[in-house]
Amino acid sequence: MLNLLLVGANGHMGQRVQTLAKENFNLFTFDIVGDANFSSFDQINEKIDVVLDFSSPRGTSQVVNFCKSNLVPLVSAVTGHNEDERKELEGLSKYVAVLHSGNFSTGINVINKILKTLTKDLIDYDVEIIESHHNLKKDVPSGTCKMFVNTIKSQRDLKETYRDETSGKREKDEIGIHSIRGGSVVGEHSVLFLGNDEIIEIKHTALSKNVFVPMALKVCEWIVNKEKRLYSLSEYLLDENSL
């Protein structure tokens, strides 16, 4: 069994990963709060085969340093990275295999795939995205929303906008983004293509945080034998014929 280091092990996601990971991995837990095997990377003497990060973007530097020093591949599920943190992940991929995804649910990745076709085919339609999450979520817009925006922008020359009272009339080249925060919403994403006299809406609702865990763990098994570089989740899905 592979030795998996789970960073952010005591968080909402980490606890769910702990439950499922024990079946297929020797699990080592890491968190700076609460009980865990480790609360500092200096404490780790075990040989770790793969790191799964479900903590916070502010922990990325330390995770990257550990993976770089010990040549351990990294699966990062963290969202809300700033430019420097994104560059650190990219830099790490010169030494080990790295995969980052803001959403490990199958449904969201199917939607991301079909969005390419929809964006190309619905060429004159206005595109808007509405995303809703629980009131504890720190980053905005969601990592999934950013992923959708990148996919749409790969097909059409559009720019994201966050409308407010200064915005005025909608421009043709906008992707309007609307973020709702409240209650215990796990995650909802709607992509709307608005045309004359019709609306096409693609909507995904995550009913439980468990939806993100199985694929994240499968990617951990997949990445251990991969060459050093940055991987996308689409590459994993193509490789596994999952979608």
Question: Does 66 help bind ligand NAD (rule: CB under 6 A)?
Answer: no
Closest CA to 149 of 139, 140, 159, 136: 159
Question: Does 7 help bind ligand NAD (rule: CB under 6 A)?
Answer: yes
> Which range touches ligand NAD (CB under 6 A), out of 66-74, 101-109, 163-171, 195-203?
101-109
The pair of three-digit structure tokens given for residue 55, joined into one six-digit string: 């903590």
137 carries an active-site annotation? yes
Among 79, 93, 109, 119, binds ligand NAD (CB under 6 A): 79
57 vs 75: CA distance, rounded Å: 13
100 carries an active-site annotation? no
Question: Does 31 help bind ligand NAD (rule: CB under 6 A)?
Answer: yes
Sign of CA dihedral 215, 68, 228, 98: positive
58 vs 66: CA distance, rounded Å: 14
Least separation in angstroms between CB 124 and ligand NAD: 33
Least separation in angstroms between CB 113 and ligand NAD: 16
* 119 vs 144, beta carbon nearer ligand NAD: 144
145 vs 78: CA distance, rounded Å: 14
167 vs 198: CA distance, rounded Å: 24
The number of CA neighbours under 13 Å toward the Cβ of 6 is 27
Cα 145 to the chain's mean position, in Å?
10
* 79 vs 151, beta carbon nearer ligand NAD: 79
> Which range touches ligand NAD (CB under 6 A), out of 52-60, 67-75, 84-92, 159-167?
52-60
Q: Which residues are catalytic?
A: 133, 137
Positions touching ligand NAD (CB under 6 A) are 7-8, 10-14, 30-33, 54-56, 58-59, 77-80, 101-104, 212
